[in-house]
């Protein structure tokens, strides 16, 4: 849960140095989807992440699983980027280095801040179509067919490539890593680090300052312990309930309860 | 000197932990209760290279360094000491001696199936009258023109009930009329080889430790490992590397007992406060943590020594001696912290307690480790 993580209340950002690094569960599934495409149709997979140097571990993990290349976007000046700037930075990398990409696959949301915003915002930045919360994809020629669970039915969409898909947590159970893969992923892996300059950003770039989002507070909902038990005859209790809480209930329901008759209960 | 684990070793730990937590942990208590070797779990472990941890890739292994190897055994044993035992024995005293002393033909013939996990390795030295005293071995090998005939009984063989490739320590009379120890590779389907009853042991119950019988068991001369009379050297080399594995196994057991104790001490309320508020319990936890940390450092040093090509016999013995002592002491304290519940099979600490003791006995008792360490100290020029 987000609020259980070490947050810096002054900057409104996650203290990543205190959190145990891991590949996001949704990203693991996104990579699994990519690996399955590679196995059936062939593909070049580049795993990209933005974060401090220690985040490179997950690129080794991605390569151990079968990614062909890994890129770490890392720079002190990128620290504190909100989802908008993160998407912007990712889009710069893709435009500069993978101009002819076919498909961007993201996890639907991170397990730390859980906003689910980076994928769709990245599609906007790249000006390509996107489908979010997908649980099954199949690539055909220049299109991708994607299925997602919406309410009580499955929705199937067909999208032109290039496009972007976010994979949710319901499918593409990640495979386990073989130990040989881990060992190999540290033997001359194709992993690069790119900083602000490498992305063509201005030297004065400062993600913390330039991010439009400000997080004011992060907290878990807590019980106030203010429950009241109304006692007495049913009619009396209901009248009391509407008299004292009518406004609150009205606002929660979006209807004015005063227009409803309740005297005849 | 850097005491931080490198990125690779962190990822090895996470990789193993992820697998064992999801695929092994839910079944461990029942495996122990039923004394059952979990073939279905072994099948899942095979493609992940658990059975070829340090074997070269040309034979299908993962080619891990020894610290990665130790971390793998530690993490596996943190959840299942019995499977940790199976894997470390298979790799360190099953495959390793063949890689170290075997001919190229032997490596090609035996290692790939072992590294895939299709043939589980065992190393048998102990007999009714020979354990710490390897010179007391009575299993004998008679040399014929193109073969050897083995006769004898081995006891307490780890993986005995499930092994496919067995390294047998036996003596034979040389041309000089003296007894020479040698090691022979025996495949389980050789006529004259049979598996005895599974031992009814205090711990490690999911590992089928058994006796093995060799009755006029004929093996071709190409199954002699190393040279005639090289048995003691092969045995000691295998045991040095085996000790790193058992030290890692003991450390894993201690770590599991420690983690259970910390969480129990925080949860369990007595006298209206959690156990963790009592200084006595805090002292226990501090002792446990310190011994575990010291054990881990000794273990990784021994592993690093092996990787650097230096002699590591004394370092491996120190690690094994200290880690197994830590396992015994930490699991004892863990039961104590858990009180009556710790003595019940409802909690895992009871199993850790039973599993820990044998780490001070096999792969050389603690007393033998001290002999090895003392010999190393006294042989240094003063």
pLDDT digits (tens, 9 = 90+) for B147-164: 999 999 999 999 999 999
Please check whether residue B197 is in contact with residue B123, taking contact to mean a CB–CB distance below 8 angstroms.
no
Distance CA B138, CA A123 (A): 75
Selecting from B7, B19, B62 the residue whose C-beta is nearest the C-beta of A183 gives B62
In a domain, A222, yes or no: no
Residue A93 parent element (H or E): helix A83-97
C-alpha pair distances (Å), B95 with each of A86, B124, B168, B239: 49, 13, 13, 12
pLDDT tier for residue A9 given thresholds of 50, 70 and 90: low
Which parts of chain B fold into alpha helices (H)? 7-19, 28-33, 39-45, 66-79, 81-89, 96-101, 104-116, 231-267, 279-307, 313-342, 349-357, 366-379
Flag whether residue A74 sits within 8 Å of chain B, measured between CB atoms.
no
Flag whether residue A52 sits within 8 Å of chain B, measured between CB atoms.
no
Chain A, nearest residue to B62 by Cα: A180
Question: Which chain A residues are within 8 Å of B72, Cβ to Cβ?
Answer: 179
Task: Verify that A143 and A254 share a domain, yes or no.
Answer: no
Flag whether residue A135 sits within 8 Å of chain B, measured between CB atoms.
no
| Domains held by chain A: number | 2
Prior bond to A162 cis, omega within 30?
yes
Sign, CA dihedral B87-B89-B91-B94, equals negative
Asked if the Cβ–Cβ distance from B64 to A183 is below 8 Å, we say yes
Please check whether residue B193 is in contact with residue B165, taking contact to mean a CB–CB distance below 8 angstroms.
no
pLDDT tier for residue A17 given thresholds of 50, 70 and 90: low
SS3 A156: strand
Q: How does pLDDT run across A150-191, given as a tens digit for each residue?
A: 888 999 999 999 999 999 999 999 999 999 999 999 998 889
- A250 by Cβ neighbours in 10 Å (0-12 / 13-18 / 19+) ranks as middle
Distance CA A80, CA A205 (A): 12
Look up the CATH number of the domain holding residue A129.
3.40.50.620
Question: Which chain A residues are within 8 Å of B18, Cβ to Cβ?
Answer: 176-177
- What six digits make up the tokens of A208? 């913390």
CATH architecture of B7-120: Orthogonal Bundle (1.10)
Owner of token pair 């990203």? A27
Selecting from B7, B65, B68 the residue whose C-beta is nearest the C-beta of A57 gives B7
Selecting from A54, A61, A178 the residue whose C-beta is nearest the C-beta of B49 gives A178
In a domain, A70, yes or no: yes
In a domain, A218, yes or no: no
Task: Identify which of B260, B250, B342, B263 has the alpha carbon closest to the alpha carbon of residue B291.
Answer: B250
ipTM: 0.90
Task: Identify which of B107, B84, B83, B109 has the alpha carbon closest to the alpha carbon of residue B96.
Answer: B107
- SS3 track for B258-284: HHHHHHHHHHCEECCEEHHHCHHHHHH
Q: How far is A55 from chain B (nearest CA, A)?
A: 10
Residue-level pLDDT at B150 = 97
Q: Taking residues A19-47, what's their average pLDDT?
A: 91
Residue-level pLDDT at A254 = 79
Please check whether residue A132 is in contact with residue A241, taking contact to mean a CB–CB distance below 8 angstroms.
no
- A16 by Cβ neighbours in 10 Å (0-12 / 13-18 / 19+) ranks as middle
Task: Verify that A97 and A70 share a domain, yes or no.
Answer: yes
Q: How does pLDDT run across A95-117, given as a tens digit for each residue?
A: 999 999 999 999 998 877 788 89
Strand partners, B168: B124, B184
Residue-level pLDDT at A259 = 54
Pairing of β B163-173 and β B179-187: antiparallel
Write b or e for each residue in A224-236: b if 16 or more Cβ atoms lie within 10 A of its Cβ, otherwise e: eeeeeeeeeeeee
CATH topology agreement for domains B122-230 and B233-379? no
Q: How far is A62 from chain B (nearest CA, A)?
A: 11
Mean pLDDT of the residues in chain B: 96
Question: Which of A183, A189, A193 to mutate to probe the B interface, most B CBs <10 Å?
Answer: A183
Selecting from A56, A179, A186 the residue whose C-beta is nearest the C-beta of B15 gives A179
Q: What one-character-per-residue DSSP string does B130-148 give?
A: BSS-GGG---EEEE-SSEE
Q: Which residues have CB under 8 Å from B84's CB, separation 6+?
A: B73, B74, B76, B77, B248, B249, B252
Domain span holding position A10: 2-210
Distance CA A72, CA A70 (A): 7
Beta-carbon neighbour count of residue B248 at 10 Å? 33
Please check whether residue A70 is in contact with residue A191, taking contact to mean a CB–CB distance below 8 angstroms.
yes
Asked if the Cβ–Cβ distance from B11 to A60 is below 8 Å, we say yes
Task: Verify that A247 and A191 share a domain, yes or no.
Answer: no
Task: Identify which of B53, B119, B124 has the alpha carbon closest to the alpha carbon of residue B91.
Answer: B53
Asked if the Cβ–Cβ distance from A176 to B48 is below 8 Å, we say yes
pLDDT value at A22 more than 90: no
Task: Verify that A196 and A260 share a domain, yes or no.
Answer: no
Selecting from B15, B53, B61 the residue whose C-beta is nearest the C-beta of A177 gives B15
Establish whether B363 is a catalytic residue: yes
Please check whether residue B121 is in contact with residue B79, taking contact to mean a CB–CB distance below 8 angstroms.
no
Flag whether residue A19 sits within 8 Å of chain B, measured between CB atoms.
no
Asked if the Cβ–Cβ distance from A178 to B47 is below 8 Å, we say yes
Asked if the Cβ–Cβ distance from A179 to B14 is below 8 Å, we say no
Output B254 or A13, whichever has higher pLDDT.
Answer: B254
Percentage of chain A beyond pLDDT 90 is: 62
CATH for B233-379, options being 1.20.140.10, 3.30.830.10, 3.30.460.10, 3.40.50.1100: 1.20.140.10
Task: Verify that A187 and A246 share a domain, yes or no.
Answer: no
pLDDT tier for residue A1 given thresholds of 50, 70 and 90: very low
Residue-level pLDDT at B4 = 82
In a domain, A186, yes or no: yes
Chain A, nearest residue to B55 by Cα: A180
Q: How does pLDDT run across B8-57, given as a tens digit for each residue?
A: 999 999 999 999 999 999 999 999 999 999 999 999 999 999 999 999 99
pLDDT tier for residue A19 given thresholds of 50, 70 and 90: low
In a domain, A140, yes or no: yes
pLDDT tier for residue B166 given thresholds of 50, 70 and 90: very high
Residue-level pLDDT at A198 = 94
Asked if the Cβ–Cβ distance from A182 to B12 is below 8 Å, we say yes
Q: How does pLDDT run across A229-248, given as a tens digit for each residue?
A: 888 999 999 999 988 888 88
Q: Domain-by-domain residue ranges, chain B?
A: 7-120, 122-230, 233-379
> What single-letter DSSP state applies at residue B120?
E
Selecting from B19, B44, B63 the residue whose C-beta is nearest the C-beta of A183 gives B63
pLDDT tier for residue B114 given thresholds of 50, 70 and 90: very high
Distance CA A44, CA A201 (A): 27
Beta-carbon neighbour count of residue B324 at 10 Å? 31
Q: Choosing from B75, B350, B363, B367, which is the catalytic residue?
A: B363
Task: Verify that A120 and A65 share a domain, yes or no.
Answer: yes
Lowest-pLDDT range, A196-210, B5-19, B112-126, B339-353? A196-210
Flag whether residue A179 sits within 8 Å of chain B, measured between CB atoms.
yes
CATH for B122-230, options being 2.40.110.10, 3.40.50.720, 3.90.1520.10, 2.40.50.140: 2.40.110.10
C-alpha pair distances (Å), A16 with each of A20, A71, A80: 8, 19, 10
Residue-level pLDDT at A119 = 93
Residue A167 parent element (H or E): strand A163-167
Q: Which residues have CB under 8 Å from B11's CB, separation 6+?
A: A57, A60, A61, A64, A182, A185
Residue-level pLDDT at A262 = 52
Question: Which chain A residues are within 8 Å of B44, Cβ to Cβ?
Answer: 176
Mean pLDDT of the residues in chain A: 88
Q: How does pLDDT run across B71-98, given as a tens digit for each residue?
A: 999 999 999 999 999 999 999 999 999 9
Question: Which chain A residues are within 8 Å of B68, Cβ to Cβ?
Answer: 179, 182-183
Task: Verify that A142 and A234 share a domain, yes or no.
Answer: no
Chain B, nearest residue to A185 by Cα: B8
């Amino acid at each position: 849960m987000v609020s259980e993580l070490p947050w810096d209340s002054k900057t409104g950002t996650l203290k990543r140095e205190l959190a145990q690094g891991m590949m996001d569960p949704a990203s693991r599934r996104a990579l699994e989807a990519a690996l399955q495409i590679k196995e059936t149709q062939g593909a070049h997979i580049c795993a990209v992440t933005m974060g401090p140097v220690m985040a490179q571990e997950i690129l080794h993990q991605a390569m151990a699983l079968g990614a062909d290349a890994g890129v770490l976007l890392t720079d002190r000046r990128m620290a504190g980027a909100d989802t908008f700037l993160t998407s912007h930075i990712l889009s710069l990398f893709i435009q500069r280095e993978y101009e002819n990409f076919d498909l961007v696959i993201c996890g639907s949301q991170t397990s730390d801040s859980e906003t689910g915003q980076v994928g769709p915002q990245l599609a906007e930045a790249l000006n390509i179509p996107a489908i979010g919360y997908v649980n099954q994809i199949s690539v055909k020629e220049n299109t991708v067919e994607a299925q997602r669970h919406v309410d009580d039915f499955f929705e199937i969409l067909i999208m032109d490539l290039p496009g972007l898909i976010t994979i949710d947590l319901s499918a593409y159970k990640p495979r386990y890593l073989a130990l040989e893969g881990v060992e190999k992923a540290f033997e001359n892996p194709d992993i690069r680090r790119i900083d602000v300059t490498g992305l063509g950003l201005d030297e004065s770039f400062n993600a913390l300052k330039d991010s439009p989002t400000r997080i004011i507070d992060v907290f878990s909902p807590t019980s106030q312990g203010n429950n009241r038990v109304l006692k007495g005859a049913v009619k009396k209790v209901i009248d009391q309930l509407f008299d004292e809480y009518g406004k609150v209930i009205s606002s929660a329901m979006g209807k004015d309860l005063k227009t409803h008759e309740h005297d005849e209960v | 000197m850097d005491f931080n684990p490198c990125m690779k070793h962190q990822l090895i730990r996470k990789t193993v932990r992820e697998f064992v937590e999801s695929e092994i942990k839910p079944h461990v208590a029942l495996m122990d209760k039923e004394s059952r070797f979990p073939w279905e779990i072994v099948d899942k472990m095979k493609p992940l290279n658990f059975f070829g941890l340090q074997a070269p890739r040309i034979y299908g292994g993962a080619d891990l360094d020894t610290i990665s190897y130790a971390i793998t055994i530690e993490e596996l044993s943190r959840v299942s000491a019995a499977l940790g035992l199976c894997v470390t024995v298979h790799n360190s005293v099953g495959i390793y001696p063949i890689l170290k002393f075997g001919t190229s033909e032997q490596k090609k013939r035996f290692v790939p199936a072992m590294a895939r996990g299709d043939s589980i390795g065992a190393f048998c030295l102990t007999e009714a009258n020979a354990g710490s005293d390897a010179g007391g071995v009575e299993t004998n090998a008679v040399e014929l023109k193109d073969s050897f005939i083995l006769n004898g009984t081995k006891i307490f063989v780890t993986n005995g009930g499930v092994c496919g490739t067995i390294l047998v320590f036996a003596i034979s009379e040389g041309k000089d009329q003296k007894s020479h120890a040698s090691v022979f590779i025996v495949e389980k389907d050789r006529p004259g080889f049979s598996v005895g009853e599974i031992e009814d042991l205090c711990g490690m119950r999911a590992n089928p430790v058994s006796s093995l019988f060799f009755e006029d068991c004929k093996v071709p001369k190409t199954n002699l490992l190393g040279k005639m009379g090289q048995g003691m050297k092969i045995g000691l080399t295998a045991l040095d590397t085996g000790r790193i594995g058992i030290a890692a196994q003991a450390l894993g057991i201690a770590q599991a007992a420690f983690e259970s104790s910390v969480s129990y001490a925080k949860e369990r309320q007595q006298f209206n406060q959690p156990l963790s508020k009592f200084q006595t319990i805090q002292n226990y936890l501090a002792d446990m943590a310190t011994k575990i940390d010291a054990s881990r450092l000794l273990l990784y040093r021994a592993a690093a020594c092996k990787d650097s090509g230096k002699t590591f016999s004394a370092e491996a013995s120190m690690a094994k001696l200290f880690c197994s002592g830590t396992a015994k002491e930490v699991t004892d304290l863990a039961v104590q912290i858990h009180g009556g519940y710790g003595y019940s099979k409802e909690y895992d600490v009871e199993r850790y307690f039973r599993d820990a003791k044998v780490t001070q006995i096999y792969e050389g008792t603690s007393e033998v480790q001290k002999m090895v360490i003392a010999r190393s100290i006294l042989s240094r020029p003063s």
